[in-house]
Amino acid sequence: MSEKKPFQTSIKTASGKWLRVAIAEQSDRLLRVEVDGETFEVHPEDIAGAQAGESHAAMASTRVSQSQRQIKSPMPGVVSRILVSAGDRIAENQPLIVLLAMKMENEILGEGAGVVKQIWVKPNQTVQSGDLLIELV
């Protein structure tokens, strides 16, 4: 059985290829990211706009914590598809929105169960990092 990483997801490139992405290791000075089994090192000083003390896993994660009831965009991009509707019950790890960023499709996943209260975006809408996408109850 493979070791569970703190953050794992699958992303689809613009060419249609699926990639598995996981955070392998995180510290204040280093973030190791695995992409289809290949490890890349990212240093905080290399990330433009990184705020002092901010968790890089939090910046990279496209998941929503159970306590968080607002799903915000983790990165700038374009809403490609909305996979849920207002009133839908969502399950843990259920894909909610597909966001196109840097020519790659990124699924925004719900970490905990809940009910979709309101969807704040539309397909083809451009969003910035931190923009509200979906509200849960």
The verdict on 87 and 38 lying in the same domain is no
Tell me, what CATH number does 75's domain have?
2.40.50.100
Count of structural domains, the chain: 2
The tens digit of pLDDT for each residue in 102-112 reads 888 999 988 67
**Integer CA distances (angstroms), 87 to 101, 136, 137, in order:** 27, 9, 9
Q: Which distant-in-sequence residues (6+ apart) come within 8 Å of 62 by Cβ?
A: 9, 74, 99, 106, 107, 108, 109
Q: Which residues constitute the domain of residue 97?
A: 62-137
The verdict on 11 and 70 lying in the same domain is no
The tens digit of pLDDT for each residue in 32-75 reads 778 877 777 776 655 544 444 444 444 444 444 434 578 888 88
pTM score above 0.85: no
